Amino acid sequence: MRLKNNIDLRSDTVTKPSIQMKAYMMDAELGDDVFEDDPTVKKFEEKTAQMFGKEAGLFCSSGTMTNQIALMVYLKPGDEVICSREAHIYNYEGGGIARNSGASVRLINRSSGIIYLEEIIDNINPNDIHYPVTSLVSLENTINRGGGVCYPIKEIERISNYCKIKNIPLHLDGARLFNALVKTGVKANHIGPLFDSISLCFSKGLGTPVGSVLIGSKDFIQKARRVRKVIGGGMRQVGMLAAAGIYALENNIERLSIDHYHSELLANALSNCSWIEKVMNVETNIVVGHLKENYQIEEFLDKLKNDGILAIPFGKGRVRMVTHLDVSKEDVEKVISSLKF
Smallest distance from the beta carbon of 128 to ligand PLP, in angstroms?
33
Counted residue by residue, the chain has a size of 341
Q: Which residues contact 139 (CB under 8 A, 6 or more apart)?
A: 83, 84, 115, 151, 156, 159, 170, 171, 172, 173, 195
Instruction: Name the closest residue to ligand PLP (Cβ).
Output: 63
Q: By CB under 6 A, is residue 212 in contact with ligand PLP?
A: yes
Smallest distance from the beta carbon of 290 to ligand PLP, in angstroms?
20
Q: Which is nearer to ligand PLP, 88 or 171 (by Cβ)?
A: 88
Q: Are 282 and 264 in contact (CB under 8 A)?
A: yes
CA distances from 260 to 63, 158, 180, 255, 325 (A): 22, 27, 10, 9, 11
The single residue among 97, 114, 159, 201 that binds ligand PLP, judged by CB under 6 A, is 201
Question: At 309, phi and psi to the nearest 5?
Answer: -120, 125
Smallest distance from the beta carbon of 68 to ligand PLP, in angstroms?
9
Smallest distance from the beta carbon of 302 to ligand PLP, in angstroms?
25
Our measurement of the distance from residue 230's CA atom to the centroid of its chain's CA atoms, rounded to an integer in Å, reads: 24
Q: Which is nearer to ligand PLP, 181 or 201 (by Cβ)?
A: 201
Cα distance from N-terminal residue to C-terminal residue, the chain: 29
Whole-angstrom distance, CA of residue 322 vs CA of residue 78: 38
Q: Which is nearer to ligand PLP, 175 or 321 (by Cβ)?
A: 175
Q: Which is nearer to ligand PLP, 175 or 339 (by Cβ)?
A: 175
In the chain, the amino acid numbered 148 is G
The single residue among 48, 62, 285, 323 that binds ligand PLP, judged by CB under 6 A, is 62
DSSP state of 276: E
The single residue among 14, 58, 88, 314 that binds ligand PLP, judged by CB under 6 A, is 88
Q: Are 201 and 209 in contact (CB under 8 A)?
A: no
Q: Are 173 and 89 in contact (CB under 8 A)?
A: yes
Whole-angstrom distance, CA of residue 327 vs CA of residue 5: 12
Choose the binding region for ligand PLP from 32-40, 59-67, 229-237, 317-325 (rule: CB under 6 A).
59-67
- Residues 248-287 within binding reach of ligand PLP (CB under 6 A): none
Q: By CB under 6 A, is residue 84 in contact with ligand PLP?
A: no
Q: By CB under 6 A, is residue 64 in contact with ligand PLP?
A: yes
Q: By CB under 6 A, is residue 144 in contact with ligand PLP?
A: yes
The single residue among 33, 173, 259, 331 that binds ligand PLP, judged by CB under 6 A, is 173
Q: Which is nearer to ligand PLP, 63 or 216 (by Cβ)?
A: 63
CB atoms within 10 A of CB 48: 26
Q: Which is nearer to ligand PLP, 16 or 334 (by Cβ)?
A: 16
Handedness of CA 166, 59, 86, 193 (dihedral sign): positive
Smallest distance from the beta carbon of 92 to ligand PLP, in angstroms?
7
Q: Are 195 and 164 in contact (CB under 8 A)?
A: no
Choose the binding region for ligand PLP from 42-50, 62-70, 94-102, 271-279 (rule: CB under 6 A).
62-70
Q: Which is nearer to ligand PLP, 52 or 275 (by Cβ)?
A: 52
Q: Are 69 and 224 in contact (CB under 8 A)?
A: yes
Q: By CB under 6 A, is residue 68 in contact with ligand PLP?
A: no
Choose the binding region for ligand PLP from 57-65, 99-107, 120-128, 272-280 (rule: CB under 6 A).
57-65
The strand pairing partners of 58, in sequence order, are 214
Binding interface with ligand PLP (CB under 6 A): 62-64, 67, 88, 140, 144, 173, 175, 201, 212
